[in-house]
């Protein structure tokens, strides 16, 4: 392909809103242009690399037996109402009406669409297991799209969904997908970190994210220095830094040994830091109590304190009943923070957030900053596991007394308060210790490229999918869900593979594999350049020939900017004489070397396909 017949509008200046390498370089290299905030168009060069990534994903999905289909991007709103996500997806989902007033959705994800398709087609256990996938456009109305295609409003994803007769079959496909994802990212030249993750709005029992390290990452990862433990902070756990009580009897025995509960004056003291200074003790001796509002809670709260009058409703027919809104008190050791994702998961809530100050005062009867678990009967009390160990301290714990400028000390768990629920809602941080081997955890920022979920029956049950088993009995299939963001993978390749001069493509994602740069495209140089290009193309090598009437420096800079792996320079000086030569340079190397033009095509083809084989194996 000659550049004069191609379209590569390179830029010397960096776009003002481009703050990460991939955003800057995709614009400068003429790969991408912006239509509106969060909406981008791929130009010919960018689309070639996009298709390379897309094809790698397609090949690996096909290799494990997943079957590609092509659903619509706009889907009926009715199926989202059936699943119960019509409201819970919030304003990020673009809802539209047609001329008849019917509701439709511009797909932000495809669980409903695939489940609806299977509901109409599935009849027998003989059809299962079945894995289907699409590579298709999505739209999410991000509040603040940024970083180019790394976080755009419109994007392309590979979604796969699997349907099974039971957990064993689901586990098998889940593991196969995980292996396929690792191959996809290796073939793209990416270094990924697989981490334990929260299933979030997708639901389900288990999930794994595939992250790339990034200074602008949306996710915080906790990794162990001594083993391969890695988790998103939303899911991360750690080794206990306390001794958990062995039994209820042990709790009572420890409580009995503590001094009696004592209410003390703490004038103008509200924060943990101020209490530490006032009482001359450490934050680990305090119980911090926060009030949270939870939305769409699935747990049965009929016997929970303060919840007997709450009404339940179904978001959609055949979906679980939920409490649209409920409030909870959450107690945690004073030196720790509540992990709101863990809390939402424990409460089976769509989301949680700190209650407004007015709600805190209304529910606790005390000013903000003086809540505590003792005597708090208006709310269900959720206690982090760390609270159960504070009886081991000689003086017990300190906590708010539900009165302005008053606190309790000598507080004993099991004697002075009893939580409605005890669970892990602790935010793990760097310096905590690995739950697997006890090694120290450290922190990295990362961006998610792919995510695999065990969805279970969340969608098949609410959307009434069934099949007949071998005994003719109706059963509900279980599901898995597996996504990869194609645009984000492409941007991440550039993030990992670039230098000060431009992109440094791995061979498998490069828009072209060889660029030929004639010093002056005429005479013997033109003949040699054309001949080499034709020979390489016959061997299956993708070639870009820079036939422009530009200075050599301009051509070299553009070749480095767009990042073609091998550059061949053809000039009169090296072609002259009995031993003609052309200059060959690998984009990753600083030095070039001279090669015989008569053997250049064979050598380049071997280099190109050798690089591809290395990444593919």
pLDDT tens digits along 471-525? 999 999 999 999 999 999 999 999 999 999 999 999 999 999 999 999 999 999 9
Residue 282 in this model has a pLDDT that exceeds 90: no
User: Peptide bond preceding 318: is omega within 30 degrees of 0, i.e. cis?
Assistant: no
d(CA 257, CA 275): 24
496 neighbors 489 (Cβ within 8 angstroms): no
d(CA 43, CA 575): 35
Return the pLDDT at 198: 57
Residues in the chain: 617
Tell me which residue of 432, 337, 349, 343 sits closest to 381, measured CA to CA: 343
Span 228-254, mean pLDDT?
A: 84
Residue 202 in this model has a pLDDT that exceeds 60: no
Residue range 248-423, CATH number:
3.90.960.10
Span 188-193, mean pLDDT?
A: 95
pLDDT category, 196, cuts 50, 70, 90?
confident
469 neighbors 462 (Cβ within 8 angstroms): no
Burial class (CB in 10 A: 0-12, 13-18, 19+), 610: exposed
Q: Which two tokens stand for residue 85?
A: 């996500």
Comma-separated ranges of CATH 3.30.930.10 domains in the chain: 19-237+443-494
The β-bridge relationship of strands 397-400 and 351-354 is unpaired
- 579 phi and psi, to 5 degrees? -120, 75
DSSP for 400-451 reads E-SSTTEEEEEE-BTTTB--SEEE--BPP-TTSB-TTT-PBEEEEEEEEEEE
Comma-separated ranges of CATH 3.90.960.10 domains in the chain: 248-423
Edge-to-edge strand list for the sheet holding 262-265: 262-265, 406-411, 397-400
pLDDT per position as a tens digit, 77-117: 999 999 888 887 888 999 999 999 999 999 999 999 999 99
pLDDT per position as a tens digit, 319-377: 778 899 999 999 999 999 999 999 999 999 988 999 999 999 999 999 998 999 999 99
118 neighbors 163 (Cβ within 8 angstroms): yes
Residue 163 in this model has a pLDDT that exceeds 80: yes
Q: Which residues contact 595 (CB under 8 A, 6 or more apart)?
A: 581, 582, 583, 584, 603
pLDDT category, 205, cuts 50, 70, 90?
low
Burial class (CB in 10 A: 0-12, 13-18, 19+), 127: middle
Cα–Cα separations (whole angstroms), residue 55 to 4, 47, 193, 597: 27, 12, 22, 32
Give the dihedral of Cα atoms 553, 558, 564, 567; nearest 10 deg: -10
Q: Beta partners for 223? A: 230, 442
Residue range 512-616, CATH number:
3.40.50.800
Cα–Cα separations (whole angstroms), residue 485 to 34, 118, 220, 301, 598: 19, 24, 19, 38, 43
Pick the more confident residue, 504 or 389.
504
Span 70-80, mean pLDDT?
A: 96
Show contacts of 241-249: CB within 8 Å, 24+ apart: 241/432, 241/433, 242/386, 242/389, 242/392, 243/389, 243/392, 244/385, 244/388, 244/389, 245/388, 245/389, 245/391, 248/414
CATH of 19-237+443-494, picked from 3.30.930.10, 3.30.1370.30, 3.55.10.10, 3.40.50.300, is: 3.30.930.10
Span 575-593, mean pLDDT?
A: 92
Span 218-247, mean pLDDT?
A: 88
Cα–Cα separations (whole angstroms), residue 26 to 22, 490, 491: 6, 10, 8
d(CA 373, CA 418): 8
Q: Compute and round to an integer the Cα radius of gyration of the chain.
A: 30
Three-state SS at 229:
coil
Cα–Cα separations (whole angstroms), residue 75 to 98, 161, 176, 242, 353: 11, 17, 29, 51, 31
40 neighbors 152 (Cβ within 8 angstroms): yes
Residue 442 in this model has a pLDDT that exceeds 90: yes
**The residue to which tokens 């590979």 are assigned:** 158
Q: Which residues contact 14 (CB under 8 A, 6 or more apart)?
A: 24, 27, 28
Please work out, in degrees rounded to the nearest 5, the angle formed at the alpha carbon of residue 219 by the alpha carbons of 217 and 223: 105
Most confident of 181-185, 365-369, 596-600: 181-185
Span 308-329, mean pLDDT?
A: 86
- 205 phi and psi, to 5 degrees? -100, -25
If DSSP states are collapsed to H, E and C, what string results for 377-390? CCCCEEEEHHHHHH
Q: What is the mean pLDDT of the chain?
A: 93
pLDDT category, 203, cuts 50, 70, 90?
very low
Residue 200 in this model has a pLDDT that exceeds 70: no
Q: What percent of the chain has pLDDT over 90?
A: 80
Q: At what angle do helices 167-187 and 597-616 cross, to 10 degrees?
A: 150
Return the pLDDT at 15: 80
Cα–Cα separations (whole angstroms), residue 593 to 56, 441, 552, 566, 597: 32, 46, 17, 12, 12
Comma-separated ranges of CATH 3.40.50.800 domains in the chain: 512-616
């Amino acid at each position: 392909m000659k550049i004069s017949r191609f379209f590569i509008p390179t830029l010397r200046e960096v776009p003002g809103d481009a703050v990460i390498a991939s955003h800057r370089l995709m614009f400068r290299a003429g790969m991408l242009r912006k239509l509106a905030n969060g909406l981008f168009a791929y130009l010919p060069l960018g689309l070639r690399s996009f298709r390379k990534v897309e094809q790698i994903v397609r090949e690996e999905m096909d290799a494990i037996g997943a079957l590609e289909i092509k659903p619509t991007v706009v889907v009926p709103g009715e199926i989202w109402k059936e699943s119960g996500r019509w409201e819970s997806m919030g304003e990020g989902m673009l809802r539209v009406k047609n001329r008849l007033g019917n509701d439709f959705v511009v797909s932000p994800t495809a669980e409903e669409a695939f489940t609806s398709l299977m509901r109409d087609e599935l009849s027998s256990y003989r059809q299962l297991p079945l894995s289907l996938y699409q590579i298709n456009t999505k739209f999410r109305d991000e509040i603040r799209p940024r970083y180019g295609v790394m976080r755009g409003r419109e994007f392309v994803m590979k979604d796969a969904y699997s349907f099974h007769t039971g957990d064993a079959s689901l586990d098998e496909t889940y593991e196969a997908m995980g292996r396929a994802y690792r191959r996809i990212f290796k073939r793209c030249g990416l270094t990924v970190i697989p981490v334990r993750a929260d299933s979030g709005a997708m639901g389900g029992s288990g999930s794994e994210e595939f992250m790339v390290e990034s200074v602008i990452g949306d996710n915080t990862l906790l990794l162990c220095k001594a083993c391969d433990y890695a988790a998103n902070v939303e899911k991360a756990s750690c080794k206990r830094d306390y001794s958990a009580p062995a039994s209820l009897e042990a709790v009572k025995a420890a409580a009995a040994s503590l001094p009696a509960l004592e209410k003390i004056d703490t004038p103008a003291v509200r924060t943990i830091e101020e209490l530490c200074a006032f009482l001359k003790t450490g934050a680990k001796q305090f119980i911090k109590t926060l009030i949270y509002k939870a939305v769409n809670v699935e747990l049965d709260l009929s016997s929970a304190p303060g919840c007997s009058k709450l009404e339940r409703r179904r978001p959609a027919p055949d979906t679980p009943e939920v409490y649209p809104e409920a409030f909870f008190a959450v107690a945690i050791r004073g030196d720790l923070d509540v992990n709101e994702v863990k809390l939402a998961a424990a409460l089976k809530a769509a989301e949680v957030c700190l209650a407004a100050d007015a709600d805190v005062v209304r529910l606790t009867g005390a000013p903000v900053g003086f809540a505590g678990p003792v005597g708090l009967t208006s709310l269900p009390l959720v206690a982090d596991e760390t609270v159960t160990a504070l009886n081991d301290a000689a003086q017990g714990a300190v906590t708010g007394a539900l009165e302005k400028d008053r606190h309790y000390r000598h507080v004993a768990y099991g004697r002075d308060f009893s939580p409605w629920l005890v669970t892990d809602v602790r935010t793990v941080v760097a310096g905590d210790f690995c739950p697997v081997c006890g090694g120290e955890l450290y922190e990295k920022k990362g961006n998610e490229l792919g995510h695999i979920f065990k969805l279970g029956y969340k969608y098949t049950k609410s959307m009434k999918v069934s099949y007949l088993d071998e005994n003719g009995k109706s059963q509900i299939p279980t599901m898995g869900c597996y996504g990869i963001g194609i645009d984000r993978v492409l941007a991440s390749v550039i993030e990992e593979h670039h230098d000060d001069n431009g992109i440094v493509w791995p061979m498998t994602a490069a828009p072209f594999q060889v660029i030929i740069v004639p010093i002056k495209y005429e005479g013997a140089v033109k003949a040699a350049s054309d001949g080499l290009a034709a020979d390489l193309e016959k061997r299956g090598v993708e070639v870009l020939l820079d036939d422009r009437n530009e200075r050599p420096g301009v051509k070299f800079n553009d070749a480095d900017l767009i990042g073609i792996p091998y550059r061949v320079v053809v000039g009169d000086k090296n072609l002259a004489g009995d031993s003609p030569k052309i200059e060959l340079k690998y984009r990753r190397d600083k030095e070039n070397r001279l090669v015989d033009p008569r053997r250049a095509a064979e050598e380049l083809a071997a280099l190109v396909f050798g690089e591809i084989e290395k990444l593919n194996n």
